[in-house]
Amino acid sequence: MYSKKKQFDRRYLLILAVVIIALVLVVLSVALKKDRNLNFFERFAKDTGMIVLKVAYSPFNFVKEQIAEMQEKDNLYEKYKELKEKEDEMDSLQAENDNLRNEVNNLKESLDLNSILSDKVLLNATVVNRNIGYWYEEVTVDKGSKDGIEENMAVITSKGLIGSVSKVSSHSSSVKLLSNENMSDKISVKIRVNDDQYVFGLISGYTAKNNTYTVEGISENVDIPKGADVVTTGMGSMFPSGIQVGTVTKVTTDNFDLSKVVKVKSSVDFNDIDYVTVLKREA
Amino acid sequence: MRIVILIVSFILESVISNFFPVNSFFVSLFSLTAIVAIYPLFEDEKRKYFLAAFLLGLAYDLIYTDTIIFEAFLFLFIAYLVTVLRTVLSDNFLNSIVILLVCIVAYRTINYFSLIITGNLDFNLHNYLASIYKSIILNVIYCLALNPIVNFIKRRKKKSYLF
């Protein structure tokens, strides 16, 4: 009688343990789900918190900017020389740019297109905090839905593409960085092989150690030179075309020798992002 | 005063993150460090200590990580771990650092493995270990900075009890 009761108790405990483990897993998967929209309460709390953080950060930011300014002053003459050289090229580049813009507008009119893949609106934002959760590879910026930011918009710095907007509240947004080794979204890119030839591929991964992306799915039998520019194609709904991603550092083939695998050094230093630009694709 | 320390640590964690590169050896976990460091101020009020840890975790969920009550329960567990370790280890400078190190390891381990179980991350031993050792230097310094403040408040509290 006693052993039967004991056996029953054990079975009961086992079932209870399984139920608790299942429950914990369900709660964890809900609690840590990243692709969900923030509810009203979360948005309100985040906005309030961000206002406090922005106020707290402003004196520190002022000091940081002053130090950076002082450091830049040391290299003023070199900067002047560099800018002087660039100024000489500016006139011809400006003329070429105007000419190309006219051509694009004429082509759009003749093809009856409302927008093209490279059309975008720029919104500048300041980084309020960087990767606080450590594992999430996100930065928070001080612009939100009130400024016209929406989920999945592309985010760049002056150097190139850094990621996309993952969550939006009224006055702040979270930006999911491409420096995420568990990249789930594939990004379509093109590699400039020569002046008028591109090969297309997909960014399938990122290695933090060398700050490089892996681009796969290139079946064309063309030589890809080291140092070739890699830019977005604009395919898919997220990223406009022509955004700098990086430069080619290594070209290999896959295990079956069927397609090329290209290592691309990112043009952005993900360790040090202070200001970003959010790109809104024109509808 | 205890609440002020927690709020300042919480804000400072975000501010400091802008001053060091993301992959540097100076990853801030000031909220967690504050939970560990201010335990002596809550010695006779454990329920309040747990409540403070839970609320701080909840704020962490809402403002920093966009998760739902995950950090709140994690901070609560860390607070419980601190109370257990404090009963075993005496209250001194070195033991505070030992407790902080144990808490950092526990926090990172639970966080990482929860994300792996739910399919948000793939296991990588190097990344896991890096998350721990990169969080040590800055937080130990912060804990050392908080220690004299906590001792001062504790002494003042004792004096006010005596008179």
Does A138 score more than 90 pLDDT?
no
Q: B68 to chain A: nearest residue by CA?
A: A31
Q: Quick check: is A51 in a domain?
A: no
pLDDT of residue A272: 79
Q: Quick check: is A151 in a domain?
A: no
Q: How far is the alpha carbon of B39 from chain A, nearest alpha carbon, in Å?
A: 23
Amino acid at the residue B138: L
pLDDT of residue A66: 85
> Most B CBs within 10 Å: which of A27, A40, A50, A132, as the mutation test of the B interface?
A132
Q: How far apart are CA A156 and CA A177, in angstroms?
A: 10
pLDDT of residue A115: 57
Show which residues on chain A lie within 8 Å of chain B, measured between beta carbons. Answer: 25, 28-34, 38, 42, 45-46, 49-50, 52-53, 56-57, 60-61, 64, 127-136, 140, 167, 174, 179, 181-182, 208, 270-272, 274
| 8 A C-beta contact, residue A32 and residue B110 | no
Residues of chain B contacting residue A38, judged by C-beta atoms under 8 Å apart: 66
| Interval B79-90 mean pLDDT | 90
Q: How far apart are CA A274 and CA A142, in angstroms?
A: 11
Q: Quick check: is A208 in a domain?
A: yes
Summarize pLDDT for B56-70 with one digit per residue, the tens: 999 998 888 888 888
Please tell me the total number of residues recorded for chain A in this structure.
Answer: 283
| 8 A C-beta contact, residue A207 and residue A196 | no
- Tell me the three-class secondary structure of chain A, residue by residue: CHHHHHHHHHHHHHHHHHHHHHHHHHHHHHHCCCCCCCCHHHHHHHHHHHHHHHHHHHHHHHHHHHHHHHHHHHCHHHHHHHHHHHHHHHHHHHHHHHHHHHHHHHHHHHHCCCCCCCCEEEEEEEEEEECCCCCCCEEEECCCHHHCCCCCCEEECCCCEEEEEEEECCCCEEEEECCCCCCCCCEEEEEEEECCEEEEEEEEEEECCCCEEEEEEECCCCCCCCCCEEEECCCCCCCCCCCEEEEEEEEEECCCCCCEEEEEEECCCCCCCCEEEEEEECC
pLDDT of residue B162: 61
Place of tokens 């075993």: B88
Counting the structural domains of chain A, the total is: 1
Summarize pLDDT for A257-269 with one digit per residue, the tens: 778 888 999 888 8
Q: How far is the alpha carbon of B37 from chain A, nearest alpha carbon, in Å?
A: 20
| Interval B126-144 mean pLDDT | 91
Contact: B21, A46; criterion CB under 8 Å: no
pLDDT of residue B138: 92
Tokens coding A45: 């709390």
> Residue A223 is part of which domain span?
187-266
Does B102 score more than 80 pLDDT?
yes
Residues of chain B contacting residue A272, judged by C-beta atoms under 8 Å apart: 21-22
Predicted complex ipTM: 0.79
Does B103 score more than 90 pLDDT?
yes
Half-sphere exposure of A59 (CA within 13 A, CB side): 3
Residues of chain B contacting residue A208, judged by C-beta atoms under 8 Å apart: 23
pLDDT of residue A118: 59
Helices (H) and strands (E) in chain B, counts: 7, 0
Q: How far is the alpha carbon of B143 from chain A, nearest alpha carbon, in Å?
A: 18
Q: B23 to chain A: nearest residue by CA?
A: A271
| 8 A C-beta contact, residue A197 and residue A249 | no
Q: How far apart are CA A161 and CA A180, in angstroms?
A: 13
Q: How far apart are CA B30 and CA B51, in angstroms?
A: 18
Q: Quick check: is A62 in a domain?
A: no
B53: exposed, middle or buried (Cβ count in 10 Å: 0-12, 13-18, 19+): buried
| 8 A C-beta contact, residue A161 and residue A176 | no
The DSSP output letter for B90 is -
| 8 A C-beta contact, residue A208 and residue A181 | yes
Lowest-confidence region among A80-84, A85-89, A130-134, B6-10: A130-134
Summarize pLDDT for A2-49 with one digit per residue, the tens: 566 666 677 888 888 888 888 888 888 777 777 777 788 888 888 888
Summarize pLDDT for A205-238 with one digit per residue, the tens: 888 888 888 888 887 778 888 888 898 888 776 7
Instruction: Pick A184 or A122 by higher pLDDT.
Output: A122
Does A119 score more than 70 pLDDT?
no
pLDDT of residue A24: 83
pLDDT of residue A282: 61
| 8 A C-beta contact, residue A241 and residue A118 | yes
Summarize pLDDT for B2-26 with one digit per residue, the tens: 889 999 999 999 888 888 887 788 8
CATH number at residue A248: 2.40.10.350
Is residue B78 helix, strand or coil? helix
Contact: A64, B64; criterion CB under 8 Å: no
pLDDT mean across residues, chain A: 82
Tokens coding A269: 């230093």
Does A185 score more than 80 pLDDT?
no
Q: Quick check: is A80 in a domain?
A: no
pLDDT of residue A113: 63
Is residue B163 helix, strand or coil? coil
pLDDT of residue A146: 87
Task: Look at phi and psi of residue A22 and say left if phi exceeds 0, alpha if psi is from -120 to 50, else beta.
Answer: alpha
> Most B CBs within 10 Å: which of A63, A135, A140, A270, as the mutation test of the B interface?
A135
